Amino acid sequence: MAQAAMFDYFYNNGGSQFLIAESMSQNAPLFNDTLLKKLHHSNLDVGAYSSSGDDAIRSITRFLLYHPVNEFEPFFESLGLKPSEFSGLVPCDKMVLNEDAFLLENYHVFWNYGIVCSPRILIGEMNVEVVKVIEMSQELGKCVWNLRHCFLFLRGIKMEAYEIGKVFRCHSHWLGVSRLKHTSTFLNTLKGGKKRLCQVIQENPEEMKKWTMGLRVEPLPGTGVVDVAGSMAKKIQFLLELGYKENSEEIEKALRCFRGRGSELRERFDFPLSLGLSEREAKDMDVLTQASDVLETKVNYLVNELGYPLSTLVAFPSCLKYTLGRMKLRFAMYYWLQDRGKADAKLAISTILEELKKTASLCV
């Protein structure tokens, strides 16, 4: 009953937060015993209310209202300190815990970190060793984040798993303290395809030091103006392999449409083939003019986010011609209509993307 009365007093009357009030009422046995002795000396017979626990709790609470206690004593005891240890920590000018906002703020910070709270830390007498542990934990967190970001970058450029392992085994000491730029922000600046990036990193992983936050990214060696002629030759050779005739109007038109390096065309062509599309569909102008990472993003959206099987792309390869933004808008409209019973739940992708206006008219 004493615990229940203490909780009621701290929580309902003292305004302490639930977890703090509960901890103070349950984890301060010495304070509770002292309180019961005071009740006994005040001629309040708690045992007389044994038949009605609620009456006893109300009586104890009423006694506390007229004989307020110093809330810092049960608070420090609930943290594991003995009265002899916290006597010097109890403030002389405060009795209510909520009056010390600094202490409560520190309490919640360390509670959220999962660290057992020490009163000396809470009142500002920070232990140097604790500070070192916290700083070390923060640095360790940054290191793990940087390594994860680097791993995702290497996976994003299609580097083989064993090659990634070699990079991490030999260079993790500086990869952990170096934060790479986001791939999308510097991939175009490097002016190299994913295969070229893999090759550069495998030859010299420390090249990635030039791609960290705060540094200006320079094009990869051999990807500047000097290599324009070679890149054009690769484009022409690739288009000839696809069936274009040399010096024809078709090949000239294709060369004007295809942007980027010649080596990137092979990546753009190989990616649709890996999905099961035919060569005729993979070499479509609308597909080849898109970067392979753009195509991959569209496929991930359809397959991983919306749950369509890859066979859907084979049946309707033209869906890759739509921009990702347009695809998301049309699917959002489709699901909106479906929720209102205005669209069939089994519409094909071709219907959703190409005939949305007809579908939207169902709600009129």
Please give the pLDDT value at position 115: 60
**316, 295 Cβ separation under 8 angstroms:** no
> Mean pLDDT, the chain, as a whole number?
77
Find the mean pLDDT for residues 249-274.
Answer: 74
Q: What is the pLDDT of residues 148-185, one digit of tens each?
A: 989 988 888 888 888 898 889 888 888 888 888 776 66
Q: Report how far Cα 98 is from the mean position of its chain's Cα atoms.
A: 34
pLDDT higher than 70, residue 90: yes
Q: Is the dihedral of CA 139, 141, 147, 150 positive or negative?
A: negative
Sequence spans of domains, the chain:
2-126, 132-211, 230-320, 322-364
Please give the pLDDT value at position 228: 57
pLDDT higher than 50, residue 65: yes
pLDDT higher than 50, residue 49: no
Tell me how crowded residue 78 is: count the other CB atoms within 10 A of its CB. 19
pLDDT higher than 50, residue 286: yes
pLDDT higher than 80, residue 76: yes
Query: Minimum mean pLDDT among 77-91, 130-144, 197-211, 253-267: which range?
Result: 253-267
Q: Is 87 helix (H, G, I), strand (E, B) or coil?
A: coil
**272, 295 Cβ separation under 8 angstroms:** yes
Contacts of 256 (CB under 8 A, 6+ apart): none
Percent of the chain with pLDDT over 70: 79
List the one residue out of 179, 170, 169 whose CA is nearest residue 146.
Answer: 179
Q: Where are the beta strands (DSSP E) in the chain?
A: none
pLDDT higher than 50, residue 354: yes
* pTM, entire model: 0.37
Find the mean pLDDT for residues 320-344.
Answer: 86
C-alpha span between 15 and 28 (Å, rounded):
18
More confident residue, 282 or 333: 333
Q: For the chain, how big is the Rg over CA atoms in Å?
A: 35
**50, 56 Cβ separation under 8 angstroms:** yes
Torsion of the alpha carbons at 238, 240, 242 and 248, rounded to the nearest 10? 120
pLDDT band at 226 (very low <50, low <70, confident <90, very high): very low
Q: Report how far Cα 299 is from the mean position of its chain's Cα atoms.
A: 22
Cα dist. 135→52, 76, 149 in Å?
A: 53, 26, 21
Element (H, E) at 275: helix 262-275
Please give the pLDDT value at position 206: 84
Cα dist. 105→98, 195, 318 in Å?
A: 10, 52, 58
Q: Report how far Cα 298 is from the mean position of its chain's Cα atoms.
A: 22
pLDDT higher than 60, residue 63: yes
List the one residue out of 347, 346, 351, 297 whose CA is nearest residue 325.
Answer: 297
Q: Report how far Cα 166 is from the mean position of its chain's Cα atoms.
A: 27
C-alpha span between 364 and 352 (Å, rounded):
17
pLDDT higher than 60, residue 45: no
pLDDT higher than 50, residue 362: no
Find the mean pLDDT for residues 49-53.
Answer: 49
Please give the pLDDT value at position 363: 45
Find the mean pLDDT for residues 236-245.
Answer: 78
Residue that the structure tokens 């320079």 belong to: 218
